[in-house]
């Protein structure tokens, strides 16, 4: 088994946290994991990208080859389009439907969504609304982990356990909100 994932977003959206959660859950299940990340100008809303490779055996490198990603998880719709050339023809895209408008010439959202809807496997998630429903507006990234869980080779229980461990270090309320955000993300794509 091998699963190559591209995680994309804008600085401050929690792309690297999502990569860490998925990686830790995979390691907990005894899988091999390789990860590489590119930090943009996060404080200025720059792009952030993580390559995550999960396998039951040896992984030869950190980077997902172009055209080799089984899954793209994007914190916002425009960033998902930036990395479509990495997606396999049969790969899946999970993206938040809400834009993160950090540039004055942000493209027409309807046009972006229409490109996404032409993909054979995609899930658009109202992640901002679901994060607020979970009780923590910043939990958009955890909503997307829940939504992407159906495409990951990691058990949902392992992801939930990792989310609990990571966020319990911050605050019990934050941990509870992220647990709920994960569940709401799962339910949104069923």
pLDDT, tens digit, 9 for 90 and up, residues 84-143: 999 999 999 999 999 888 778 888 999 999 999 999 999 999 999 999 999 999 999 999
Sign of CA dihedral 86, 92, 96, 98: positive
Q: What is the pLDDT of residue 70?
A: 98
Average pLDDT over all residues of the chain: 92
Of the ranges 1-10, 44-53, 86-95, 121-130, which one carries the lowest mean pLDDT score? 44-53
Spell out the domain ranges in the chain: 2-188
**Are 47 and 103 spatial neighbours (Cβ–Cβ below 8 Å)?**
no
Q: What is the pLDDT of residue 37?
A: 76
Whole-prediction pTM value?
A: 0.92
**Are 88 and 154 spatial neighbours (Cβ–Cβ below 8 Å)?**
no
**Residue 69 pLDDT level (bands cut at 50, 70, 90):** very high
Domain at 2-188: CATH architecture: 3-Layer(aba) Sandwich (3.40)
Q: What is the pLDDT of residue 170?
A: 82
Q: Give yes or no for residue 185 having a pLDDT over 90.
A: yes
- CA distances, 61 to each of 33, 34, 36, 65, 66 (Å): 10, 7, 9, 10, 13
Mean pLDDT along residues 67-93:
95
**Residue 19 pLDDT level (bands cut at 50, 70, 90):** very high
Mean pLDDT along residues 15-29:
94
Of the ranges 14-28, 29-43, 90-104, 150-164, which one carries the lowest mean pLDDT score? 29-43
Percent of the chain with pLDDT over 70: 96
Distance CA 43, CA 164 (A): 27
**Are 83 and 49 spatial neighbours (Cβ–Cβ below 8 Å)?**
yes
**Residue 42 pLDDT level (bands cut at 50, 70, 90):** low
Q: What is the pLDDT of residue 46?
A: 74
**Are 3 and 70 spatial neighbours (Cβ–Cβ below 8 Å)?**
yes
Q: What is the pLDDT of residue 65?
A: 94
Q: Give yes or no for residue 44 having a pLDDT over 70.
A: no
Q: What is the pLDDT of residue 104?
A: 81
Q: Which two tokens stand for residue 113?
A: 């969504």
Distance CA 56, CA 51 (A): 17
């Amino acid at each position: 088994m091998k699963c190559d994932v591209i995680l994309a977003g804008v600085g401050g959206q929690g792309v690297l946290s999502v990569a860490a959660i998925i990686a830790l859950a995979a390691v907990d299940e005894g899988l091999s994991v390789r990860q590489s990340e590119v930090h943009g100008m996060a404080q200025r809303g720059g792009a952030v990208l993580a390559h995550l490779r999960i396998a039951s055996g040896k992984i030869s490198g950190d980077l997902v080859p172009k055209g080799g990603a089984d899954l793209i998880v994007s914190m916002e719709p425009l960033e998902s389009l930036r990395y479509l050339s990495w997606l396999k023809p049969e790969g899946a895209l999970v993206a938040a439907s809400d834009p993160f408008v950090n540039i004055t010439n942000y493209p027409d959202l309807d046009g972006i969504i229409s490109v996404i809807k032409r993909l054979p496997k995609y899930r658009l998630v109202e992640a901002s609304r679901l994060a607020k429903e979970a009780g923590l507006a910043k939990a958009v990234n955890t909503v997307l982990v829940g939504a992407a869980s159906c495409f990951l080779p990691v058990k949902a229980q392992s992801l939930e356990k990792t989310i609990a461990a990571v966020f319990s270090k911050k605050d019990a309320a934050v941990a509870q909100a992220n647990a709920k955000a994960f569940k709401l993300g799962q339910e949104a794509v069923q």
